[in-house]
Structure 1
Amino acid sequence: VLAVISPPANTEAGLNNVRNEYLLAKAEFERAQRLFEKQAISQRRLDEAKLRFEAKRAGYDVIAQQVDFGAEKNGDNNTPHFHLKAPIAGVIAEIHFHLGETVETGKKLFTISNPKRVWLKANIPLALLARVQAATGASFKVEGYEQEFRVDQLNGRLISVGSSVDEKSRTVPAIFELDNPENKLKIGMFAEVAVQTGDAEETLALPTSAIFDDNGTPVAYVHVEGEAFAKRVLQTGINDAGFTQILNGIAAGERVVTVGGYQVRLASLSTSVPVGHGHEH
């Protein structure tokens, strides 16, 4: 039960009337049963009493699920109370009223969230919309965690792609639904999302942090021998989950500087060794 609501006087009178009619029909039916057992009334009279009782009970049962007629437990012998029940299991995220406030029909009272199952919203640029509609998966990172989360590993799936465009960002929302183990993901967290738009294929890739911008050209540093390194000009492809696809410039098996690359780059800028050759530092 989320809240106990006292109805206005006119509603209260109607609720009490429904209850009283039900109790009266119940008493009449029970009396008719006793009289019938003594053969004091006909079967028809018993059936009529039963029909009235069942009709009144049906109307009473509808409101009895939400209304507490045992108001004397609350110190009021006359006033019934509505019991507002949660439609789902979860936790109260927001309360939209104050104690004692008069509420109208349709007013939002509570926001309830189920932290065990959450939605991930990705704002998709229009240029990528057609590819995302056929998405096969997604991965994401959220503030506060270094680890990468994968939608498929969290029993997740794409459940909708928006039908309207945000006027300011010119994006369309894509919604993924997924499990939230240990309640790590908090409602309202910002996420960096990578959507998988096709079947995965094996390819050569480098950590994006190992690639540097050299006057608009992507480069990386390969270990040659000892303390000698060579700068390689790269042709890159797609970026995904912190890695960049390498189409040309580095061969499989070559050792690329992934830690301390910035220091190697500074050393290469201060040396007179021609680009593409090893240098000492």
Structure 2
Amino acid sequence: MKHRTFILLWAACACILAGCGGSSTQKDEHPHAHDEHSHHEHEHQHDHDHTHDHDGEEHDHDCEEETHEAVDNEIIFTAQQAKAVGLEVSTVASGTFCQVIKAGGQILSAQGDEVTIAATSNGILSFSGSVVEGVAVRAGEAIASISAKDIANGDPVAQARITYETAEKEFRRAEELVKDQIISTQEFEQTRLRYETAKTSYQAFAGKAGAHGVRLTTPIAGYLKNRFVNQGEFVAVGQPVATVSQNRRLQLRAEVPEKYFRDLQHIGSANFKVSYSDRIYKLSELKGRLLSFGKSAGQASFYVPVTFEFDNIGDIMPGAYAEVYLLSTPRPDVITLPIKAVTEEQGLHFVYVQLDEEGYLKREVTLGADDGERVQILSGIHAGDRVVTQGVYQLKLAANANVIPEGHSHSH
């Protein structure tokens, strides 16, 4: 009986232990499943967050690349450097710009602004020691003398004096004879006429006679433009010796290709540059005016002449070759820059745009026509851009050096 009771107690304990074990296993397994679910959700959330963050990182990476590229291309030029080289920046704005026709031309003396001095007697010509082409002369100044000392016909001054003295004696005698009616009034008048002619001729020579012969003087002040004879050459009466020009007014003669003939009627002014200077002259600033333009091409060329007249400011040389920019119809809303703001590298053109106080960027542009001073910009910049117009060469050197000071940074 005791033995049976022991067996029953053992079986009951075994059942209780078995139930406790199963419950314990379920409790252990359920949290585990929950952990696995939580872990899965965590992984899903992680993947989602990671993907989202990755997309953002890619976007940020692109922006960083663009910023990085801008910084790489940026030229750092400090305010101190800019001040030292006189760097200037202008804000781009559209405005009126004339159509331009380029042509070759020449500077000429204006008509009536020069005189030709001719020989007044036969003889050997000698220029004054300081008289050379380009020298300034005063009105009445002697530029040369003509001597006939060793010429067969003799000294014209001496001849004129002898002729005058002889005519004077005959005239005084005729005055007495006509009173006594020994000679007729007609004969007296002929004698008087010979006397007056001889007197005028002698006075003309006597007023210009010098130690070395007859002096040649200039009637106007100006400068000696040309000498047509050499020192010591024989000259005859009326032969051109030299030209004196005042150069107060000059002419600009442009030779325009005939293909622009229809556009000539719209030309109102011009800019030009002479071969010996880089300066651009504007007829609008020289009281210039259009004189005429040809109605046909030349017989030996296919060019039409266009002629202007303007004031000479003192440094323009007649006879010089000129590069001419004929200004035609005005056009509105055109973006232009000073030519000096544009640089060229291997056939491409660039300008330097200011990004901030010390940052600049080299930008390629496409050029249009230019009037010698400003050039049309077809593409590359827009109104409102700030472009370097002075100190471009120094900035170009800085760009080629590509040196960025340590610790310098920008945020754009």
Shorter-chain TM-score tier: 0.5 to 0.7
The one-character-per-residue Cα deviations of 1:151-209 (angstroms, maximum 9, x if unpaired) are 24323344566863776xx766655443333x323456554432223458674311234
What is the 5 A alignment of 1:82-97? 82-86=214-218, 88-97=220-229
Q: Which residue of 1 aligns with 2:272?
A: 140
Evaluate the alpha carbon distance shift between residue 51 and residue 189 of structure 1 in structure 2; reply closer, same or farther with a 3 A threshold: same
The alignment-based identity, stated in percent, is 29
Matched letter for residue 218 of structure 2: A
Residue 5 (1) aligns with residue 146 (2): yes
2:352 touches 2:360 (CA, 8 Å); kept in 1?
no
Residue 255 (1) aligns with residue 382 (2): no
| Mapped partners of 1:86, 1:74: distance in 2 | 19
| Mapped partners of 2:323, 2:233: distance in 1 | 41
| Mapped partners of 1:99, 1:187: distance in 2 | 24
**Aligned to 2:196, what secondary structure does the other structure show?**
helix
Structure having the higher Rg: 2
Give the drift of 1:15: 8.7
**Structure 2: where are the runs of 5+ without partners?**
1-141, 403-409
Give the drift of 1:145: 5.6
Q: Which residue of 1 aligns with 2:298?
A: 164
Evaluate the alpha carbon distance shift between residue 3 and residue 213 of structure 1 in structure 2; reply closer, same or farther with a 3 A threshold: closer
The one-character-per-residue Cα deviations of 1:63-103 (angstroms, maximum 9, x if unpaired) are 557634886x638xxxxx54434354322245454443323
**Structure 1: where are the runs of 5+ without partners?**
76-80, 269-278
Give the drift of 1:238: 2.3
Q: Which residue of 1 aligns with 2:189?
A: 50
Give the drift of 1:254: 2.8
Q: In angstroms, what is the RMSD of aligned CA positions?
A: 4.9
Q: Which has the higher contact order (CA 8 A, sep 6+)?
A: 2
Q: Which residue of 1 aligns with 2:211?
A: 74
**Aligned to 2:369, what secondary structure does the other structure show?**
strand
Evaluate the alpha carbon distance shift between residue 160 and residue 84 of structure 1 in structure 2; reply closer, same or farther with a 3 A threshold: farther
Which protein is richer in helix relative to its size?
2
Evaluate the alpha carbon distance shift between residue 233 and residue 110 of structure 1 in structure 2; reply closer, same or farther with a 3 A threshold: closer
Task: Give TM-score, length-normalised by structure 1.
Answer: 0.61
Task: Give TM-score, length-normalised by structure 2.
Answer: 0.45
Evaluate the alpha carbon distance shift between residue 26 and residue 45 of structure 1 in structure 2; reply closer, same or farther with a 3 A threshold: farther
1:223 touches 1:256 (CA, 8 Å); kept in 2?
yes
Residue 239 (1) aligns with residue 382 (2): no
The number of aligned residues is 256
Give the drift of 1:243: 1.0
Residue 154 (1) aligns with residue 286 (2): yes
1:223 touches 1:230 (CA, 8 Å); kept in 2?
no
2:350 touches 2:362 (CA, 8 Å); kept in 1?
no
